[in-house]
C-alpha cells in the first residue's frame, strides 16, 4: 500500500528577526507571570525552538510529555508540541484545559492514516493486534489496541503474545526497525514523517567520513534506519558506533557516553538541548535541513497569546477519548 498523495500542507517558518535577547527576555517574563496567574504548566517537545523550551516547565519527547501531563496538578496545560500530542494530553487529563498555541501544528506522519483506512486495514487482518505509534489522531488511537512511542515501541511489541499477528502504523521506518529487532509477524503501514524520511544513508556516509570517531545516534523514524541497521548488524570494519534511540534516549546517551563527538540523525531542534546540557561535547546534525515546520509554528508569541486568550482548547469527544485512553494507558504502563 503506497501513500503517494500529499495529505498535508507545510506551514511557513516564522519570522524570527525580532527575537533579540532583550525582546525574548521581556516576552518570557510576561509568559511566566501569566502562567502563574492561569495556574498553567508549559510542556515543550524537544523539537521546539530554544526560546520556547526556555519558558517550559518540562521538555521531553512524546512519552515524557504524556507522563508529565498525567502527573501535573496544574489546571491548564499549554502544550508546545503538535496537535496529536495535545489530543493525547486531553485524553489522559479530561479534567484539565489543554491549549495548543498554534492550530497549524499538525504532523505529516499523523496524516499518513485516517480512521477509515485503519478500519479497512483491520478488516483485511481479522484477529491481528493493532499497535499505533503515538503520532496518530485520537480516532486512530481509539481503533488501536496499543499505543507506543519510539521510547517503548519494542517493549510494547514484545509484550504481545508471540502467536499474534501485529498491524503496526503509521511509520514504515520504525515498523521495519521493530520487525527486524523482534522478528515478529508484522504488517506495516507505509506512512512516514517528511522530516525524518529525508535523512538518508548518503547523509550518514558524508557525515561519518568527516567525523569517523563520532557516536552515531539515529531516530528510528529516519529514512536511513534499515540500511544503517543492516550495516550495524554486519559489524563492518570502520562502522561507527550506531545507536537507534528516541530523542529522550539520545539525550540520556550523550550524558552517559564517554565519546566527545556525536552525529545526530533526527530533527535538529534536539541539538540545542544537547549542547546546553553537555557544553564540553560536540554535536553534528546528520542533515541540517531536518526541520519540522509543524513544530516550529509554536513561538513565544503564540504561547503568550495562548495564555492571554486561553486558545486553542483541544478536546476529544468522550466516546473516542474513552477508547483511545485504553490504548494510551497500555502504553504508559509499559514504560
**Contact residues for ligand SF4, defined by CB under 6 A:** 82, 107-109, 135, 193-196, 267, 292, 294-295
Burial (CB < 10 A; 0-12, 13-18, 19+), residue 111, is buried
Q: Shortest gap between Cβ of 69 and ligand SF4 (angstroms)?
A: 17
Q: Which of these, 263, 257, 164, 145, lies nearest to 204 by C-alpha position? A: 263
Q: Which is nearer to ligand SF4, 38 or 141 (CB)?
A: 141
Q: Which is nearer to ligand SF4, 7 or 276 (CB)?
A: 7
Q: Shortest gap between Cβ of 39 and ligand SF4 (angstroms)?
A: 28
Q: What is the CA radius of gyration of the chain?
A: 20
Q: Which is nearer to ligand SF4, 8 or 28 (CB)?
A: 8
Q: Shortest gap between Cβ of 183 and ligand SF4 (angstroms)?
A: 26
Residue labelled with grid coordinates 478488516: 123
Rounded CA separation 236/254 (Å): 23
Q: Shortest gap between Cβ of 79 and ligand SF4 (angstroms)?
A: 13
Q: Shortest gap between Cβ of 71 and ligand SF4 (angstroms)?
A: 23
Rounded CA separation 223/122 (Å): 26
Q: Which is nearer to ligand SF4, 51 or 223 (CB)?
A: 223
Which grid coordinates are listed for 42? 508549559
3-state secondary structure of 94: coil
Q: Shortest gap between Cβ of 109 and ligand SF4 (angstroms)?
A: 4
Q: Shortest gap between Cβ of 85 and ligand SF4 (angstroms)?
A: 8
Q: Which of these, 162, 150, 317, 166, lies nearest to 217 by C-alpha position? A: 150
The phi-psi region of residue 216 (left if phi > 0; otherwise alpha if psi is between -120 and 50; otherwise beta) is beta
Q: Which of these, 44, 41, 11, 13, lies nearest to 247 by C-alpha position? A: 44
Contact 193, 171 (CB under 8 A): yes
Rounded CA separation 301/278 (Å): 28
Q: Which is nearer to ligand SF4, 109 or 303 (CB)?
A: 109
Q: Which is nearer to ligand SF4, 59 or 107 (CB)?
A: 107
Q: Which is nearer to ligand SF4, 96 or 194 (CB)?
A: 194
Amino acid at each position: 500500500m503506497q501513500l503517494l498523495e500529499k495529505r498535508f500542507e507545510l506551514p511557513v517558518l516564522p519570522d524570527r528577526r525580532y527575537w533579540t535577547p532583550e525582546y525574548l527576555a521581556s516576552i518570557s517574563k510576561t509568559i511566566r507571570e501569566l502562567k502563574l496567574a492561569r495556574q498553567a504548566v508549559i510542556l515543550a517537545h524537544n523539537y521546539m525552538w530554544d526560546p520556547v523550551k526556555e519558558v517550559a516547565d518540562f521538555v521531553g519527547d512524546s512519552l515524557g510529555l504524556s507522563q508529565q501531563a498525567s502527573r501535573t496538578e496544574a489546571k491548564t496545560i499549554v502544550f508546545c508540541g503538535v496537535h496529536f500530542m495535545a489530543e493525547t494530553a486531553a485524553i489522559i487529563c479530561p479534567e484539565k484545559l489543554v491549549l495548543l498555541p498554534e492550530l497549524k501544528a499538525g504532523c505529516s506522519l499523523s496524516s499518513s492514516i485516517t480512521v477509515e483506512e485503519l478500519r479497512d486495514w483491520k478488516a483485511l487482518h481479522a484477529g491481528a493486534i493493532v499497535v499505533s505509534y503515538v503520532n496518530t489522531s485520537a480516532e486512530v488511537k481509539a481503533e488501536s489496541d496499543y499505543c507506543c512511542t519510539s521510547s517503548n515501541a519494542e517493549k510494547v511489541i514484545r509484550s504481545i503474545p508471540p502467536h499474534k499477528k501485529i498491524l503496526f502504523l503509521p511509520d514504515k521506518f520504525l515498523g521495519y526497525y521493530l520487525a527486524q529487532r523482534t522478528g515478529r509477524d508484522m504488517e506495516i503501514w507505509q506512512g512516514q514523517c517528511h522530516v525524518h524520511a529525508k535523512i538518508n544513508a548518503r547523509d550518514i556516509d558524508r557525515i561519518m567520513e568527516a567525523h569517523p570517531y563520532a557516536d552515531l545516534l539515529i531516530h528510528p523514524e529516519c529514512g536511513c534506519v534499515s540500511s544503517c541497521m543492516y550495516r550495524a548488524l554486519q559489524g563492518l570494519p570502520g562502522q561507527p558506533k550506531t545507536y537507534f534511540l528516541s530523542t529522550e534516549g539520545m539525550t540520556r546517551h550523550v550524558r552517559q557516553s564517554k565519546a566527545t563527538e556525536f552525529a545526530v540523525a533526527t530533527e535538529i531542534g534536539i541539538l540545542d538541548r544537547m549542547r546546553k546540557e553537555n557544553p564540553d561535547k560536540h554535536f553534528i546534525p546528520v542533515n541540517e535541513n531536518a526541520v519540522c515546520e509543524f513544530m516550529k509554528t509554536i513561538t513565544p508569541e503564540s504561547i503568550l497569546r495562548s495564555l492571554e486568550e486561553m486558545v486553542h482548547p483541544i478536546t476529544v469527544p468522550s466516546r473516542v477519548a474513552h477508547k483511545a485512553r485504553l490504548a494510551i494507558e497500555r502504553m504508559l504502563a509499559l514504560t
